[in-house]
Amino acid sequence: MNLISIHDLKRDVIEGIFSRTQDLKEKGVSGEAPLSGKTLALIFEKPSGRTRVSFEVAMFQLGGYSIYLGQSDVQLGVRESIGDAGKVLSRYVDGIVLRTFAHGRVLEMTQASSAPVINGLSDKLHPCQVLSDIYTIREKRGNDRMKVAFVGDGNNVAHSWLYGAAKVGWELSIATPPGYEPLPEVVREALEDAKESGAGLEVTNDVLEAVKGADVVYTDVWTSMGNEIEKGEREKAFESYRVTKELLKKTGKDSLVMHCLPAHRGEEITDAVMDSPQSIVFDQAENRLHVQKGILSLLLGEQ
């Protein structure tokens, strides 16, 4: 089993990840080692703080070992093909996390590897982040149907939120400036998933409409890695999509605030919101560790 996209996961698998996460979080570092003798390769073509540390600590706490391979170590597609690297590495390790640019690179690694592959982030998707986000909201507010308003860029996190909300049957409103909407193919697939779960999905350019009645207001950076050349243009386009105290009042609720980090304070979110009692940003970040323990336990523990 691989974890490439939430779209690929059945609802019971998602619930299984959350159940294992809860169990492992409650136990803490108990001395048990369910992944003793297991090894995880971390191939990072994009730099990372939370993703790398959370996966490394997760493997350590589960009794396993991780090997970090940066861009200069493997040079996928340069020193050797992604396919060859996947075939070789999967004879050494029990799992591979790939954090990269083009989503096709994750798919190519998955096709070649005989070991489970986890998408640690691609330009298209960030599934581990959103699984952790959903777990965190449930932890704070229970299992009731929620409305999440995603304000900002229709990026990889927004794409995974579309799939995630569709799978768990929540409402999701994504508000972006014109021209920055999520990919139509992702919206189309998420809407198909929503037919089964009863989720309500919406993509709009109207930020005030999106946040109305929202239980959670979620944002991300306006300029992701790889888009730096567009920074000035994006700052102008996203100016009215900043998450402020005034915007939060438009929800009509005591809404939670989330950000997948790193945050550009003063751009997509103000200090007053980021540091407010409504913010669960750092609880959300902590849960990356716990949910990734659940994911690794499920994927690597089955072998």
Residues marked active site are found at 99, 126, 129, 220, 260, 288
Tokens of 89: 């590495």
- Is 245:270 a contact under the CB 8 Å cutoff? yes
Alpha-carbon dihedral angle through residues 160, 166, 168, 173, given to the nearest 10 degrees: 80
Strands 256-259, 216-219: pairing is parallel
